[in-house]
Amino acid sequence: MPRGAGAGQPPEAPARRLDPPAGAARLAGMTKSTVRYVCTACGAAFPKWAGHCEACSEWNSIVEEAADAGPALARTKPNAARKIAFVDLAGDAAPPPRAVVGIAELDRVLGGGLVAGSAVLLAGDPGIGKSTLLLQAAATLARGGARVLYVSGEEAIEQVRLRARRLGLADARLELAAAINLRDIVAALEAEAGVAVVVIDSIQTMWLDALESAPGSVAQVRACAFELIRLAKTRGFALFLVGHVTKDGAIAGPRVLEHMVDAVLYFEGDRGHQFRILRGVKNRFGATDEIGVFEMTDRGLAEVANPSALFLAERRGNIAGSAVFAGLEGTRPVLVEIQALLAPNPSGSPRRSVVGWDGGRLGMLLAVLETRCGLRLNASDVYLNIAGGLRIAEPAADLAVAAALLSAAADRPTDPGMVFFGEVGLSGEVRQVAQAEARLKEASKLGFASACLPRRVARGRGPLAAPDGLVLREVGHLADLVARFAPPADKSSA
């Protein structure tokens, strides 16, 4: 879970923790002024310790850390500054040179390949497959003739070799080192010429001896990243930094680096599912809404060229509470099943539980269904799940979520051959969403027969280019959808 959300419940007693593992002894001898308190989740610094970070709302993430000796600039001569030459906006500018990795799902998320001199942070939960992905990327680049250095701070050479053998990559001419001392790594990188790509796995294990704080601390992680990024810019190699999403407050998380790097990619997925999603959340050289879809196999990560088929693979038709959403991830249409379950709860404080969608958005939709469509859900727990572990951010999913909820409430399945998309407004109106044609095309490609979509208010819009044979069911208001699920016999009681 990369952003915000966090652990949810505050711990019972936010015990004060002072546990930088190795730096503790050193810290103990310090005066008060050389100590500060930083949030290991977001990097915010505070003068006092607190159990709760005001900047990112994380609990128990603030730790004591040695303050840096002060900016290095202050210690140099003021007249050593050089004059800056300002230039026009309209000058020569070439697009940045890119190296195509050769793994299409990764290249797409990167914005069309790896930019020379750029720094890419690959963040993800432990064990999700970060090392696997980067070893595959590094080996593919090396096979293409690029000089790639892979520095493992976490695993011994033998472990990386074993993984390479398992993935069938042992023949790739990758240059491998196991090291954590950043001074050594920087010296080694400075001595090498013609390096195209450097992988650091992981940034949290790197250690700069010039700093007092322990490896994994916010100061260490930032300082090490800064040195490596500076080197990448001056030497022109592309830098991959692996960053673990940490649950333990003692180690800095990848978010403390987000502003320093050029691109931030999150590798997500449910460990219970085989597939993994690579999502760009920041990219100075490309769009951020693209995703890459992979499947974890015993031979490593396999690219999934047709994610819709994968996400719908386990769908069983004719079950109440299920609706297929024709979504869009970046430029790619993706069909995914939305599942809703209602369970009676007369306690007066029903649960709303969401996996893969925004809880606030569900609350809004439930309110609209209650106030505008007369649906009574306040005596039911509502569970909403995006099947397969995909996380959806599009408001276009509103209509499909509403269909799943209505289907669950009526205990009548939605038409299994129908896809849904459309945004729902507060008055219950169904609004247009982007790229309707692309969504319809994907639905048709996967064998769907009809689509439920927003009514086209004809004002200068041409007819919708729907694929042949696909039946379009337009709805202008959520009440139109409600009417479809109403039992035919006793409409008056609904």
Q: Which two tokens stand for residue 268?
A: 């997500």
Q: Which is nearer to ligand ATP, 207 or 383 (CB)?
A: 207
- Quote the least distance from Cβ 129 to ligand ATP, whole Å: 4
Q: How far apart are CA 389 and CA 383, in angstroms?
A: 14
Rounded Cα–Cα distance for residues 418 and 464 (Å): 17
Per-residue CA distances from 90 to 85, 94, 95, 284 (Å): 15, 12, 14, 19
Nearest-approach distance from CB 296 to ligand ATP, in angstroms: 5
The yes or no reply on residue 154 touching ligand ATP (CB under 6 A) is yes
Question: Cβ closer to ligand ATP: 132 or 444?
Answer: 132
Nearer to ligand ATP, 92 or 298 (CB): 298
3-class DSSP state of 456 = coil
x/- track of binding to Mg ion for residues 100-139 (CB under 5 A) = -------------------------------x--------
Q: Residue 314: count other Cβ atoms within 10 Å of its Cβ.
A: 10
The least distance separating Mg ion from the CB of residue 128, rounded to whole angstroms, comes to 9
Site for ligand ATP, residues 277 to 336, rule: CB under 6 A: 296, 298
Which residues within the stretch 90-149 sit at the binding site for ligand ATP (CB under 6 A)? Answer: 124, 126-132
Q: Which is nearer to ligand ATP, 132 or 339 (CB)?
A: 132
The beta-strand segments (E) located in 225-319 are 238-244, 263-268, 275-283, 291-297, 300-303
Q: Select from 30, 35, 50, 56 the one that contacts Zn ion (CB under 5 A).
A: 56
The residue written with tokens 């499909």 in the block is 400
Out of 38, 42, 218, 408, point to the residue binding Zn ion (CB under 5 A).
42
Closest of 278, 333, 330, 290 to residue 309, by C-alpha: 333
Number of residues that bind Mg ion (CB under 5 A): 1
Spatial distance between the Cα atoms of 273 and 359, rounded to a whole number of angstroms: 22
Closest approach, Cβ 139 to ligand ATP, in A, equals 13
DSSP-derived secondary structure for 41-108: TT--EESS--SB-TTT--BS-EEEEEPPS--GGGGS-GGGPPPPPP--SSS--PPPPEE--S-HHHHH
Q: Which is nearer to Mg ion, 118 or 131 (CB)?
A: 131
For residue 153, the minimal CB distance to ligand ATP (Å) is 10
Q: Could you tell me the smallest distance in angstroms from the CB atom of residue 154 to Mg ion? A: 6
Q: Which does 468 bind (CB under 5 to 8 A by kind): Mg ion, ligand ATP, Zn ion, none?
A: none
* Cα atoms found within 13 Å of the Cα of residue 51, Cβ hemisphere only: 8
Applying CB under 5 A, which of residues 55, 116, 176, 319 lies at the interface with Zn ion?
55
**CB-CB contact of 260 with 229 (8 Å):** yes
Which partner in ligand ATP, Zn ion, Mg ion, none is near 55 (CB below 5 to 8 A by kind)?
Answer: Zn ion
Handedness of CA 143, 300, 276, 133 (dihedral sign): negative
Task: Between 154 and 358, name the residue whose CB sits nearer to ligand ATP.
Answer: 154
| Cβ distance to Zn ion smaller for residue 37 or 285 | 37
CA distances to 62, 126, 131, 278, 453 from 256, in Å: 13, 17, 20, 20, 41
Q: Which amino acid is at 259?
A: H
Quick check: 439 binds ligand ATP (CB under 6 A)?
A: no
- The b/e string for 370-405 (b: 16+ C-beta within 10 A; e otherwise) is eebbebebeebbbbbbbbbbbbbebbbbbbbbbbbb
Q: Does 419 bind Zn ion (CB under 5 A)?
A: no
Q: Quote the least distance from Cβ 46 to Zn ion, whole Å.
A: 9
Return residues touching ligand ATP (CB under 6 A). 124, 126-132, 154, 166, 244, 296, 298
Return residues touching Zn ion (CB under 5 A). 39, 41-42, 44, 53, 55-56, 58
Return residues touching Mg ion (CB under 5 A). 131
